[in-house]
A and B are shown apart, each in its own frame.
Chain A
Amino acid sequence: MKDIGFILAAYIATFASSALLAVYVLRRGRALAAQLPPQDKPWT
């Protein structure tokens, strides 16, 4: 496939940065949830 480097760079950058943000949000959520009682987490 022609221009494969450019095409893959766009896909990898998009999926990698989205995954990094998702992991950061989940880890931060778990860290904060461990410090708060259930009444401060109405979704639980």
Chain B
Amino acid sequence: MNGKVKVWDAEKSDIKYSTRVEGHMHDIKENGDHLYGALQHDDQLTVVRYDRQLTNRDTVVSIPYKTNQLSQIDVRYREIVVTDWDNELIKLYSSDGEFVRDVQLKDAKQPYGVRLMKDDCVLVSDWEADSVTKYKTDGSGEIVWRCDDRLRYPTGLCVNEWGFIFVSCYTGDKIYLLSPQGNCLITHCQLTKTGCVTA
């Protein structure tokens, strides 16, 4: 399977840069002058690094990869984290690809989305457990939020500068907005073309 990586000018809704990739690009995060991608090809998940113009690419690390499910990455300063769906853990690397450690996530079922936090904790969405959990580096976790409605399969996570947590869901018709303490501020927001939601 071949795909493309594209950098968009959001204001102009226009493509600035584009490049082809061989494989399935699961996720891309920015960090400083680089873009880091999680690229699956055959039985390898490779963390690749681009410059912002997508003209140069190098391999940071390659990981044996069994599942067909998606894996997300996050990069912050000099640290890379990759979720391992099959083994309920996260893998930590330096930004240059040096292996740091695996962190087994206690009580995790299928970790998916991941965000490195400012306090060195890691925020993980769990596809099967319908939850968002904040893990310490020893793998112990505190559930920040658990979905209690019909919506299932939380996917991506995003944390804004004030610590509010945005959670997307696979079904595509809702998002959740959580306070830094895990209180759900938006529950059933219907994302229609004219929808407007206030928290």
Are A and B part of the same complex?
no
A contacts, CB < 8 Å to B = none
B contacts, CB < 8 Å to A = none
